[in-house]
Amino acid sequence: MTAKKNDPSSESTTVNCETDTLSDNLSEELKNLTAEWLEELRVQRCYSVHTLSAYTNDLRNFFHFLSGHFAEKISLRILQQLKISDFRAWLSARIGNGMSARSNVRALSSARSFFNFLAKKNLMDLKVIHAVRRPKLSALLPKPINENVVLDFINLDTFFDEDPGWVTDRDRALFTLLYCTGMRINEALSIKTQDVAAEIKITGKGKKDRVVLLLPLALERIRRYISSCPHDISGGYLFVGVMGKKLHASYVDNRLQKLRIMYNLPDHASAHAFRHSFATHLLQRGADLRSVQELLGHESLSSTQIYTDVDDYNILKIYEKSHPLEIKK
């Protein structure tokens, strides 16, 4: 479904992954191979439309660089003859164009994915691309919102004075749901009204299902929103915009951006920050790591352990500010 221009809250799920969008300067053979690769990622690897879009953009950037680098149409033969210096030149050019090291890590990962696909077809030797060093990254810790700030925010009587009551009920229910469950914003916006219960089965990243538990307060606020919503949402998505269409994640973050200014929230306050806050606050209150891993839907425990680093960082800051030797400086 394509979003109507007059409803900024509706969601467009169309992502164009046609190989024509990758580069007009590819050989037909390479166009066919990239199309097959993207289809494999979509069907067999169950990549989301957002991940597919990111991989497509990365490969488009790679091919665009190569076409200028070699001043000719890019073919499989050129890819087979690439040297480490060619990959380094590409990554350096991206840095020169303002791309971050983190962006380069993902771009290199996208290129490696495509090259691995070619290798499975015996069309590529992986020695060169595997010899390209991954850019070094500084550790980026999740940024939770202070517990009291979150609680004060989700308990506000109103968010925007001009909003009708049902919109306030909707936003309060959504923000409470995000903080109470640690859901990703797209997971929350994909809930159907008919599925609302104390336990909800949702599909997360990689098409993996998990059960999310709703606290009584979250369930109460969702039901209040359902009863006040003027649109018939009984057979469709739970969270809708003023035109009755499914909310888009960017719409939610745009509203939060305005609310940050109005209510003096931290700069990192976003829909995803509720997820960070959920995990961090649970661990600070003694929840075990495995349980939080299950609640977040993380496949690997290492993905959850980063929240213990956040807590260690906060403890260190308290220690530095509180120790007598530090105070006497």
Residues assigned a catalytic role: 184, 205, 272, 275, 298, 307
What residues does 225 pair with on adjacent strands?
none
Distance of alpha carbon 168 from the chain centroid: 25
DSSP assigned state of 213: E
Contacts of 55 (CB under 8 A, 6+ apart): 38, 41, 47, 110, 113
**CA 32 to CA 120: how far, in whole Å?**
15
- Cα–Cα nearest to 252, from 304, 180, 183: 183
**CA 24 to CA 73: how far, in whole Å?**
9
- Cα–Cα nearest to 175, from 233, 224, 218, 229: 218
The HSE-up count of residue 220 (CA atoms within 13 Å, CB side) is 3
